[in-house]
Structure 1
Amino acid sequence: MIDAEDRQEPRFPAEKEGAAKQELRNRLDQAIRGRAGELKGIAGGACGGDILFHELCIERGITTEMYLALPAEEFKKASVSFAGKDWDERFDKLKEKLPFYILPEQKKDRSRNVWERANLWMLDKALSEGGRNMTLLALWDGKGGDGDGGTEHMVQIAKEQGARIEIIDINKL
């Protein structure tokens, strides 16, 4: 996610948005050139990498779906609105344009939080639809997150499943 204005230790400062978007664009263009069949994007809807990814998929004619860990308005409050009105509007536009899914409520196993469960859900969905051609494209600084279920968790579980992983190091942008 884009850093909140008051973030003490920067991870993805707003001024890196353009460079992140360009690198995501480059990686998607590489995927298009090397594809064996139709491409499909799956991502959350958080401000930053998720929204940029969906916008770029749309630009390139790649089918993409948004997977939300919480009902849309709750998700927006938790993972979008703190970054400003522009991100809220971009989220709303994507929500209108894309198929989006809400993580089903978990009644039995509460050992994982909603963010970890959302990562597992998205990875399972990607693997169930021909995961042999799946690549996790992660915009990440290589550090642990502020809580459970962030990018570090997604990279870890994707590695465990043998997925191809491409890291875009935010520190190098």
Structure 2
Amino acid sequence: MTADVADRVVLFSGHMIDAPGRPVERFPARLVPRIARAIGDELDVTGAGCADIGLCGAACGSDLLFAVAALERHMTLRIHLPFDETAFIERSVAIGGERWVELYRRVSETATCIVADDVLGPLPPGADPFTRNNLLMLSEARRIGARAFTFVCVWDGQPGDGPGGTEHLASAVRAAHGEVRIIDIRAFADAPRA
């Protein structure tokens, strides 16, 4: 990857839409409009715009909502995939339904797509692709010459369902002394329905 300069880098991670049959709700589909607004509001608070770069994954739910909000603000968007696109769509996008696959396609037409295997080579035995992808995004965020670096996340503050989730990236950003801005999804889940 070449050296970049931006006014601000916004790194993002957040919960996926709940898969059908998830035993405990975390991000039910009914919260999508509220979470989308909250992400947009957070970008507005940070002053994100056309001189800025957004980095995120592209799973159904928070990632794609951030991607849309970043593109609406004319940010340069780079989506990072832990492995090849076909497998990623099947594993992390299609489980939310066709609407999310269509949204992924629209976003990926405008964004730069970075596949971890293309940058880092094949995944070593025993390594987790999502953890590696988080660290790649953080490395890129720190490498970019920017006036400000912010990590925004949609998170319930709890450990994830597996390795390499939002908790992992939030911990890695804190360890690197980055700013962490949390959109606490629990506040939306507990609020009365609109």
Which range moved further: 128-137 or 145-154? 128-137
Deviation at 1:130, TM superposition (A): 2.9
Structure 2 CA distance, aligned partners of 1:98 and 1:21?
18
Deviation at 1:107, TM superposition (A): 5.1
Q: Percent identity?
A: 32
> Where does residue 145 of structure 1 map in the other structure?
160
- Partner secondary structure for residue 47 of structure 2: helix
Higher relative strand content: 2
CA RMSD of aligned residues (A): 1.8
Structure 2 CA distance, aligned partners of 1:108 and 1:68?
13
> Where does residue 174 of structure 2 map in the other structure?
159
**Within-5 A mapping of 1:15-26:** 15-26=30-41
TM-score, with length taken from structure 2: 0.83
Query: RCO greater where, 1 or 2, for CA within 8 Å and sep 6 or more?
Result: 2
Structure 2 alignment gaps of length 5 or more? 1-15, 189-194
Residues 68 and 61 (structure 1), Cα distance of their counterparts in 2 relative to 1, 3 Å cut: same
- Partner secondary structure for residue 139 of structure 1: strand
**Within-5 A mapping of 1:81-120:** 81-104=94-117, 106=121, 110=125, 112-120=127-135
Alpha carbons 2:123, 2:129 under 8 Å: kept: no
Please, which of 42, 47, 50 is the counterpart of residue 55 of structure 2? 42
TM-score, with length taken from structure 1: 0.92
Residues 108 and 93 (structure 1), Cα distance of their counterparts in 2 relative to 1, 3 Å cut: closer
Alpha carbons 1:2, 1:47 under 8 Å: kept: yes
Structure 1 alignment gaps of length 5 or more? none
Structure 2 CA distance, aligned partners of 1:64 and 1:164?
19
Residues 11 and 112 (structure 1), Cα distance of their counterparts in 2 relative to 1, 3 Å cut: same
Is residue 124 from structure 1 mapped to residue 150 from structure 2 by the alignment?
no
